[in-house]
Amino acid sequence: MAATVVAEDVRRVYGDTVALDGVSLSIDEGEVFALIGPNGAGKTTLVRALLGTTDAEGTVRVFDQSPRAVDRARIGLLPQNFDPPDRLTARELVSYYGGLYDESRDVDSVLDDVGLADDADTWYENLSGGQQRRTCLGTTLVNDPDLLVLDEPTTGIDPAGRRAVWRLIEDLAAGGTTVFLTTHYMAEAERLADRVGLLADGKLIACDAPDSLIANHGGDSRLVVDTDAEPSVTNEFSYPSELADGQLTIYDVPPEAIGDVVETLEATGASYDSLSWTEPDLEDVYLDLTGQAVTASGEVVRAGETPLADGGRVDTAAGGDR
Ligand SMILES: Nc1ncnc2c1ncn2[C@@H]1O[C@H](COP(=O)(O)OP(=O)(O)OP(=O)(O)O)[C@@H](O)[C@H]1O
């Protein structure tokens, strides 16, 4: 399969700040590639380097051309901070961007694709956050791009809006569009991406399919039970387990074995209050590889530090919008 984007040893320094420190990656045609990293990791700088809007050392090829030589009609870019005029309607905005190209898609079909057919004549300022972001996405689709570059497509929008954007990206990917997106929402990358690149302090520290990253770096699943059990309870299970401060953690229990584990616990005469089972995810991978957790607002919390006000290691599909 042909590579749509190839970057080799890309480096960008701003004064004393090394924003990108030798990043190499390639994105295949039709692939959804998500670049994960906290605020300041270098995501936007890499977007700029790949599109040739910032000077960087190293080599970048897009459609096997220098980025600045690529026909702009082949690329759709959603910048992180896209702030169109408030008093243009969704239709006017998409139509305006369509006018920038020699050939563009029918405006109504674009509005339909982004789920704004019913709100096409609403001013931008009166659309919800999710609708606004989908309008912005519409302006990037009007030239029917072969490569879509989305810099933090869902930052700052509510969970329902985020899911709507996810569905839209999934539809585009199913239609064969190559997508490069950046995000600090691990769940977003896990859901959408064929491959994920983990960026930390300007370095690409891992790059693989989400499942492979989780299998190699995510650790075990955990069954956590609040219980009054005696310390010796850990001898009862055939899985590794530990008891501390009234919390029993049993590792690597497959979901179908949870009932047996609970029966074993009950048989010891112990009672319990709550029980939760969690699978490892990309958050665990990032933590394992960097010693850092990424909060919902994209800040990092280093292992051993007090979590920030927005809840520390949180980045679920449902929560944490600011
Ligand atoms: N034009 C610039 N001038 C000076 N420093 C810059 C410039 N652009 C980025 N940086 C610095 O480079 C580093 C990487 O920034 P970048 O915006 O690429 O990160 P990011 O991962 O996109 O972060 P965020 O999620 O906050 O947008 C940061 O330390 C940032 O302050």
Backbone angles phi, psi at 188, to 5 degrees: -65, -45
- Summarised one tens digit per residue, pLDDT across range 288-310 is 998 888 888 888 887 666 554 44
- Summarised one tens digit per residue, pLDDT across range 212-225 is 999 999 998 999 99
Q: Is the pLDDT of residue 44 over 90?
A: yes
Q: Residue 313 — very low, low, confident or very high, per pLDDT cuts 50/70/90?
A: very low
Q: Whose CA is nearest to atom 26 of ligand 1?
A: 39
Q: What pLDDT does residue 164 have?
A: 86
Q: In the chain, which residues fall in CATH 3.40.50.300?
A: 3-215
Question: Residue 88 has what DSSP assignment?
Answer: S
DSSP per position, 110-133: HHHHTT-GGGTTSBGGGS-HHHHH
Tokens of 92: 């006017």
Mean pLDDT, the chain, rounded, equals 90
Of 135, 55, 65, nearest in space to 94 by CA: 135
Tell me how far CA of residue 15 lies from CA of 12, 51, 57, 59, 133, in angstroms. 10, 21, 14, 21, 33
Ligand 1 near 12 CB (within 6 A): no
Cβ-based neighbours of 251, under 8 Å, separated by 6 or more: 220, 221, 222, 223, 239, 240, 241
User: Under CATH, what is the fold of the domain 220-278?
Assistant: Alpha-Beta Plaits (3.30.70)
E strands within the chain? 3-14, 17-28, 32-36, 57-62, 75-78, 147-151, 178-183, 195-200, 203-208, 222-227, 241-244, 247-251, 272-278, 292-294, 300-302
CATH homologous superfamily of 3-215: P-loop containing nucleotide triphosphate hydrolases (3.40.50.300)
Instruction: Please give the distance, rounded to the nearest whole angstrom, from the Cα atom of residue 54 to the centre of ligand 1.
Output: 12
pTM here is 0.86
Instruction: Please give the distance, rounded to the nearest whole angstrom, from the Cα atom of residue 178 to the centre of ligand 1.
Output: 25
Ligand 1 near 297 CB (within 6 A): no
Q: In the chain, which residues fall in CATH 3.30.70?
A: 220-278
Question: Residue 152 has what DSSP assignment?
Answer: S
